[in-house]
Each structure stands twice: as C-alpha cells, then as structure tokens.
C-alpha cells in the first residue's frame, strides 16, 4: 500500500513538474515591452512588424494604452525575433524583440503630427533605435547598434578600395573578423545580420552573376524577413526580378497570357533558387516591379496575379499576392476599396465590411478645415434623404478626436464618425492629399466613384440620378416600368 502511494506521489510530482515546465516555456514565449513616459499618458502605443516584404506592409504585434502616469505594458506571444516599429506622432522607433524578452524602454517627448503632416506625401518620421533601460551588454539590440557603428566606419574607410579591387576584395575575411569580434552575442539571428550586411557590399561593390547571388550569397535555407540586413539584400537583388529571364524564349508570352505554371518552369530551369519560398517571392516581386516599370501591360499583370492567387495553396503567399494585386489596382474604379479597422466614439471598431449591402459615401475631414465644417451641413441633408440606400462615414484625421465628436453632437450629425488614430495609414491607403476628400463605394465594397463629388459639387443630384437609373433598369427587367411615374 505504501509502495502504491509512493508511486502515486511520484507520478503526481512528475505531472506537476511537467505542468511547471510547460508554464515556464509559455512565459518564455511571451515578449513584454513596458515603460513609464509621462508625455504618452492616455495614448495608445502599438508595435508593428513588416509581414509582407513585397508591398512592405505591416501588422500589429501588440498594443496598450498608457495610463494617466504614462505607464504602459505591451505583451504578445512570440516564437521568433521580430524587428518591431513603434510609430506615434512624428516618431518612428525600432527595436529587436526576442521571444520571452522583457524590455523596459523610454522614448523622446511625444510630438504630434500637424494636420499638414497627415497629407504630406513627403513627410519623414524622426527615426531612431529604442533606448532599452534594462539591456545587458551582449543583448541583441546592443550588439546590432555596435556592429552598425563599427561597420559604418569600416565602409567609410575601405569601400573605395573594395570597389576598386572588385572580386579580389577579401570580404570573406571581413565577415570572419566581425563574427569573431561579436562571438559573445549568442544569436543565430545576429550571425545572419552580419552575413547579409557584408553580402550586400559584395553584390554592390562588384558585378556578380545572378547564379552567384542566388546560389551563394543567399543561403539556401534562410528567409527571415525580420532581419533587416536580409530584407535589404532581398530588395536589392530581387528588384525587377523578371528581367533576369526576359531573354529566354517563351517567358514574355507566358507573362502576357497569364500562364503561371510556364513562368515558374522557366524560372526553375535556371536552377538558381533552391528555396521554394524565395522563388515564390521572386515571382511576386517580379510582378510588382513589372507593373510599376511598365514592362508588360497592366491587364497582363492583373491576369497573372489573379491566376496565381487562384492556384496558390499557401495562405501566407496568397495573402502577399492579394496585397500586390490590391496595391497595383488601388483606387481604380471597380477595384476593392482599401479596408480599415477604425474606432468610433463608442470605442467599437468598424470596417468597410460592416457596411456591405449599402452604398458608402466615405469622406476624410479635419475640424481645422473650413471646407469640412462648411460641408457637414450639406452632408446632413444627404444623410436624411438617402437613409435607405446610403451610409455616410466620416474619418476624422484629428489628433483630438473628442473635439470632433463634440462638434458632431452639438450639431446633431448622426452618420458614422471614426477616428484615424488606431490606423493612421488609412490616409496613405486612400492617397489623401487634401481635406475634405470623398469616395463612393458600392454595396460589394468596390470603388464606384474615386474621387466622388463633394456635397457642394452636386453629389446629391448625381447620386439621385444614379439610383433612379438603377430602379428604372430593374423595373424594365421585371416588366413593371412606367415612364409616367418618372416624369
């Protein structure tokens, strides 16, 4: 009996130890970023990362609202190193985030964007690396900063000589030197950071064949786009990817006919790229650049990408392809309107999908624009006259959303009011250059009028004519059309 009890106790202890181990492992995979910065009190801080290396699109890792003292804590699960960015106001900060890392950070004084900054296509953030208050000497961020500093000095002194020597330059020994110098930083990610910084100099300093670049400088099993050195190397060497193959018979015909399988057959025939993910990304980068460089007709690229999306089984690659197609057809009449997830004064989030089935009169405004304030009254009349078919959404590009909401309440405006603050790139997505700006989106979420006329440019009468013609067409199809009714 005692033996049985002891066995049971040992089993229980074993189970407890396993549970404890799993719990510790789970905690180790939770990355935490925290700090107390008084000027950020009651503001939302969000950390994002680039998930799409072709369109260079980001998504959120985690976010938190600072309390009244400016304290915030952002937590998210992680199984890899992320190159995170924090964009808030005029600031854009960068930080490497390892799984299980706990980072106490500080940022400069909060500096809001001015209204003119929001529509300035040439606006530049004040960019910097985040200061980590509790970082150890050989921590990844410190190692990267020190390497960048030393390698920059090396290039300033040696690049003219490297450029002159060409292939004779022994950059392999340079890599060995830096790998040994930073040997105390035990990070595979950092080793690759060093490698691809030096590989970038190798491919830039002297001409290399595509075979050398893709088979030697690109390491076969490495494709981590969170590593900025690898990311830059990809952008440098995959630019205009299709140009490597344009001289091959049948390649251009395959592109223009939308024959995805034939395009890949030709690319694979060179044998340069053994990493399947990198080969797929080469196709997507090639399609993207070919559109903007006008190497092929736009319709041919649209067809090629549409066929690729329909055939692609990998969810991640399909998502990037959809991003490419969305970007190159962006704001074209008939194309999907850029989606968003924005918050209203009720703290609920709204996306375009929430308004499917209605025409959406989307406008971007600020309370600092006299034109916006002047046209709200006209918008109110449109809202009241077309409630059955039309939804009006105002996206307020104001830092002080409460002030905008107060203006709406005071004037009894009842249409949807959303703040741009949680997704400021919505301004860029719709290429807003002035306030107010207007778009009409159809019930399926596609752009119908881009741009749309403003209320004082006759939107109401144009929309009335459109709805009337739509109803007449339907009545004719149903055999119920009465011309006298419409006179």
Residues 6+ apart with CB under 8 A from 12: none
Rounded (5°) CA angle 463-337-416: 65
* Residue 57 predicted with pLDDT over 70: yes
219, pLDDT greater than 90: no
- Give pLDDT tens digits for 236-292: 999 999 999 999 999 999 999 999 999 999 999 999 998 999 999 999 999 999 999
DSSP string, 294-318: TSS-HHHHHHHHHHHHHH---HHHH
Mean pLDDT of 386-395: 92
Q: What is the mean pLDDT of residues 343-353?
A: 93
The answer to whether 377 and 412 are in contact (CB under 8 A) is no
Statement: residue 213 has pLDDT above 50: yes
Q: Which of 95, 127, 102 is nearest to 30 (CA)?
A: 102
CA distance 445 to 294: 28
User: Which helix (H) or strand (E) covers residue 58, if one does?
Assistant: strand 57-65
> Do 214 and 273 meet the contact criterion of CB atoms below 8 Å apart?
yes
4 falls in which pLDDT band (50, 70, 90)? very low
Return the residue matching tokens 């009409």. 440
SS3 73: strand
Residues of the chain with CATH 2.60.40: 27-134
The DSSP call for residue 336 is B
Greatest Cα pair distance in the chain = 100
Q: In the structure encoding, which two tokens stand for residue 336, read together?
A: 């999907």
- Report the DSSP beta bridge partners of residue 362: 393, 439
- What beta strand segments (E) does 385-434 contain? 390-396, 416-419
Return the closest-CA partner of residue 167 out of 219, 213, 203: 203
Burial (CB < 10 A; 0-12, 13-18, 19+), residue 4, is exposed
* Contact between 385 and 391 (Cβ < 8 Å): no
Query: What percent of the chain has pLDDT above 70?
Result: 91
> In the structure, what pLDDT confidence band is assigned to residue 9 with cuts at 50, 70 and 90?
very low
Mean pLDDT of the chain: 89
- What residue ranges of the chain are covered by domains with CATH 3.40.30.10? 342-475
Digit-coded pLDDT (tens) for 413-463: 999 999 998 888 899 889 888 899 999 999 999 999 999 999 999 999 999
User: Is the CB of residue 74 less than 8 Å from the CB of residue 62?
Assistant: yes
The strand pairing partners of 60, in sequence order, are 48
Distance CA 332, CA 327 (A): 10
pTM for the structure as a whole: 0.74
- Residue 121: predicted pLDDT: 65
Please give the pLDDT value at position 6: 46
Instruction: Specify whether domain 342-475 bears CATH 3.40.30.10.
Output: yes
- Asked if 364 and 436 touch (Cβ cutoff 8 Å), the reply is yes
The fold of 27-134 is Immunoglobulin-like (2.60.40)
Strand partners, 393: 362, 416
Q: What is the pLDDT of residue 368?
A: 85
Instruction: Decide if pLDDT at 313 tops 60.
Output: yes
Strands 342-343 and 126-129: unpaired
Task: For residue 208, name the pLDDT band (cuts at 50, 70, 90).
Answer: low
Predicted local confidence at residue 369, as pLDDT: 87
User: DSSP letter at 69?
Assistant: T
**Pair of tokens at residue 133:** 């208050």
Mean pLDDT lowest among 15-19, 103-107, 166-170, 473-477: 15-19
- The CA distance from 245 to 260, in Å, is 14
The rounded distance, in Å, linking the Cα atoms of 197 and 203 is 10
* Per-residue pLDDT tens over the stretch 359-373: 999 999 988 888 999
Q: Which of 36-45, 170-179, 212-221, 395-404 has the highest mean pLDDT?
A: 36-45
Model confidence at 482, pLDDT cuts 50, 70, 90, reads confident
CA distance 189 to 194: 9
pLDDT digits over 131-144, tens only?
Answer: 999 999 899 999 99
């Amino acid at each position: 009996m005692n033996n049985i009890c002891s066995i049971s106790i040992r089993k229980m202890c074993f189970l407890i130890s396993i549970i404890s181990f799993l719990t510790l492992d789970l905690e180790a995979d939770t990355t935490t970023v925290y700090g107390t910065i008084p000027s950020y009190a009651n503001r939302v801080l969000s950390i994002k990362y680039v998930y799409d290396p072709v369109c260079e699109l980001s998504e959120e890792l985690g976010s938190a609202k600072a309390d009244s003292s400016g304290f915030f804590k952002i937590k998210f699960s992680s199984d890899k190193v992320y190159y995170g960015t924090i964009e808030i106001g005029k600031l854009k900060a960068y930080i490497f985030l390892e799984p299980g890392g706990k980072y106490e950070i500080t940022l400069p004084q909060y500096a809001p964007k001015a209204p003119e900054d929001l529509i300035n296509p040439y606006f530049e953030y004040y960019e910097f690396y985040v200061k980590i208050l509790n970082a150890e000497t050989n921590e990844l961020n410190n190692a990267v900063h020190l390497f960048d500093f030393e390698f920059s000095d090396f290039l300033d002194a040696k690049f003219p000589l490297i450029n002159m020597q060409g292939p004779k330059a022994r950059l392999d020994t340079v890599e060995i030197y830096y790998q040994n110098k930073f040997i105390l930083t035990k990070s595979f990610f950092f080793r690759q950071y060093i490698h691809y910084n030096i590989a970038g100099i190798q491919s830039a300093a002297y001409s290399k064949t595509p075979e050398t670049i893709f088979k030697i400088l690109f390491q076969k099993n490495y494709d981590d786009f969170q590593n900025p050195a690898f990311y830059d190397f990809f952008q440098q060497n995959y630019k205009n990817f299709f140009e490597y193959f344009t001289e091959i018979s049948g390649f251009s015909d395959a592109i223009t006919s939308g024959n995805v399988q034939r395009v890949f057959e030709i690319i694979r025939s060179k044998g340069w790229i053994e990493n399947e993910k990198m080969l797929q990304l080469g196709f997507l980068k090639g399609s993207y650049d070919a559109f903007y460089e006008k190497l092929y007709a736009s319709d041919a690229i649209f067809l090629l990408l549409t066929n690729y999306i329909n055939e692609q089984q990998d969810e991640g690659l399909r998502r990037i392809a959809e991003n490419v197609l969305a970007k190159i057809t962006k704001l074209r009449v008939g194309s999907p309107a850029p989606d968003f997830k924005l918050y209203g004064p009720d703290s609920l989030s709204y996306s375009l999908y929430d308004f499917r089935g209605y025409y959406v009169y989307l406008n971007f405004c600020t309370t600092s624009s006299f034109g916006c304030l002047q046209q709200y009254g006209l918008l109110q009349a449109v809202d009241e006259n077309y409630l059955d078919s039309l939804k009006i959404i105002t996206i307020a590009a104001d830092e002080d959303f409460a002030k905008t909401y107060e203006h709406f309440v005071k004037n009894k405006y009842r249409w949807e009011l959303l703040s741009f603050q949680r997704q400021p790139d919505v301004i860029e997505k719709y290429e807003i250059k002035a306030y107010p700006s207007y778009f009409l989106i159809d019930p399926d979420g596609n752009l119908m009028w881009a741009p749309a006329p403003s209320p004082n440019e006759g939107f109401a009468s144009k929309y009335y004519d459109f709805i009337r013609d739509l109803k007449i067409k339907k009545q004719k199809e149903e055999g119920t059309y009465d011309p006298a009714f419409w006179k």
